[in-house]
Chains A and B, each alone.
Chain A
Amino acid sequence: MTKLLLENILRFILLILAQVFLFKNMGYYNLVIPFPYIMAIMLLPVRISKVLLFIIAFLTGLTIDAFYDTLGIHAAACVTLAWVRIIFLNLTIQDDDHDSISPGIDQMSFRWFLIYTFILSFFHHLTLYLLESFSLNNILSTLTSILFSCIFTTVLIILFELIFYRRKKR
């Protein structure tokens, strides 16, 4: 239990640092920006309480917002992410034997994790970009940004999973 807590805290810190110091500067002309920090919320244990999940998501978003100077936008996106995560997990995991595990590539199948990552990052980016532009003008370019950023984020998260967690299982 302590190990799980420590792991999550460490992951949280590392992902936030990576996001604000590395991925913030990575991007293709403001069109494609990756947000792999959402892993911190995605990989929380399956049976974490809803209230706690929302609070963690909200705080994660606020932390990122503090670095991005966009108070509230990432928080809203992360809260949406948390909500979609709860629904997705409710729909795909019925049995109770996953109680204390994290939804990672090592515990689930690769296909499940790919869909999970894609859908969650999609909803996160959708909320993020729509709140950022805050208008329906240029909706086409916003949607393009959402889609490509989403693909970029998914690829990065899958890579992280493959590098850091696949090996651990073996």
Chain B
Amino acid sequence: MRNLWVFINRYSTFFLFILFFGGSIVLVVRNNTFQRASTINSSNQIIGSIYQQVDYFKGYLSLNETNLALARENAALRALLKSSNYDNKVISNVIRDSTQQPEYSYIQARVINNSVNQKNNYITVNRGARHGIKKGMGVISSKGIVGIVLNVSENFSTIQSLLHSDTKISASLAKSQAFGSLVWGTQSSDPQKALLRDIPNHVKVENKEQVITSGFSLFPPGIVIGTVLETGLSSGSSFLDISVLLNNDFSTLRYVYVIVDKYSEEKEALEIQNLDND
């Protein structure tokens, strides 16, 4: 005990300093908000940085699972994006008038796949069987005809484009009302040009005359297809081959309308009977 006293006495200056300095520091930390905040912070800084380092190395161990989890999360988030939603809304306008029963109604659809450069071109749209689309329906756009529905799934349909070697559409000349069939791809593969065949020789065809749908097939009558580009292209028989400049620009096609013909089944059933009678 005596030794301790001697020791303290010998270094009294230092102990006094520690005493007073410690008192000051206590005052500083207890009464100054900044120092109080940073005491807590700096201790956290040290401990925090150690934790951070350890965590940094531990992160490598679970890198695989983390990547997997992130990928899964990405997929889930991507599914929430508006652009990945399937737009199920169909805007249809039904006129209720008993004197004039509407024959045609239209299903609006968005083009989600398209080609113009192939020998046979197809278009895919985001409407299908659940929206009432059936095989063989006609498809138009705001600028002209587009094609015929080829295959239908639950939510999508493929359209055999007008730019297809098998597509044959009944068309007529606007003034003479003479009708023929519109085909594409027999002479050139220009997506702007089609050929109007089977117009009788005697019909006077004017340059830049409008070519419209005849109404005999899937399309309502009077839809503009294009204009006459070249006349008098004789195929050597009693029929004219007329080159038609298409009104529709297939390469910029965005929205199309699928035509629902209310009486198409009735018509078809009737026409099949004709064949049976042969």
Give A contacts to B, CB under 8 Å. Answer: 50-51, 54-55, 57-58, 61, 65, 70-73, 75-76, 79-80, 82-83, 86-87, 131, 134-135
Contact of A71 (CB < 8 Å), options: B12, B20, B32: B32
In the complex, the answer to whether B31 meets A71 with C-beta atoms within 8 Å is yes
CB distance from B15 to the nearest CB of A (A): 10
Contact of B12 (CB < 8 Å), options: A50, A79, A87: A50
What CA separation (Å) do A4 and B20 show in the bound complex?
A: 25
Q: Show 14 residue pairs from A and B whose CB-CB distance is below 8 angstroms, ordered by the A residue.
A: A50-B13, A54-B19, A70-B28, A71-B32, A72-B26, A73-B28, A73-B32, A75-B24, A79-B20, A82-B17, A83-B14, A83-B16, A86-B13, A134-B42
CB distance from A119 to the nearest CB of B (A): 16
In the complex, the answer to whether A76 meets B24 with C-beta atoms within 8 Å is yes
Contact of B21 (CB < 8 Å), options: A51, A71, A80, A135: A80
What CA separation (Å) do A73 and B38 show in the bound complex?
A: 15
Given A73-B32, A86-B13, the answer on whether A135 and B38 have CB atoms closer than 8 Å is yes
Give B contacts to A, CB under 8 Å. Answer: 12-14, 16-17, 19-21, 23-32, 34-35, 38-39, 42
Which chain B residues lie closer than 8 Å to A131 at the CB level?
25, 28, 35
Which chain A residues lie closer than 8 Å to B12 at the CB level?
50
Given A79-B24, A135-B38, A135-B42, the answer on whether A72 and B31 have CB atoms closer than 8 Å is yes
In the complex, the answer to whether B32 meets A54 with C-beta atoms within 8 Å is no
In the complex, the answer to whether A70 meets B24 with C-beta atoms within 8 Å is no
In the complex, the answer to whether B13 meets A58 with C-beta atoms within 8 Å is no
CB distance from A118 to the nearest CB of B (A): 20
In the complex, the answer to whether A54 meets B20 with C-beta atoms within 8 Å is yes
In the complex, the answer to whether B13 meets A76 with C-beta atoms within 8 Å is no
CB distance from B28 to the nearest CB of A (A): 3
In the complex, the answer to whether A72 meets B16 with C-beta atoms within 8 Å is no
In the complex, the answer to whether A79 meets B13 with C-beta atoms within 8 Å is no
In the complex, the answer to whether A75 meets B27 with C-beta atoms within 8 Å is yes
Given A131-B35, A134-B35, the answer on whether A61 and B17 have CB atoms closer than 8 Å is no
In the complex, the answer to whether B38 meets A71 with C-beta atoms within 8 Å is no
CB distance from A123 to the nearest CB of B (A): 11
CB distance from A82 to the nearest CB of B (A): 7
What CA separation (Å) do A158 and B29 show in the bound complex?
A: 34
What CA separation (Å) do A73 and B16 show in the bound complex?
A: 17
Given A50-B13, A82-B17, the answer on whether A134 and B38 have CB atoms closer than 8 Å is yes
What CA separation (Å) do A51 and B23 show in the bound complex?
A: 14
In the complex, the answer to whether A70 meets B20 with C-beta atoms within 8 Å is no
What CA separation (Å) do A72 and B29 show in the bound complex?
A: 8
Given A79-B21, A131-B35, A135-B38, the answer on whether A71 and B13 have CB atoms closer than 8 Å is no
What CA separation (Å) do A159 and B272 show in the bound complex?
A: 123
CB distance from B11 to the nearest CB of A (A): 11
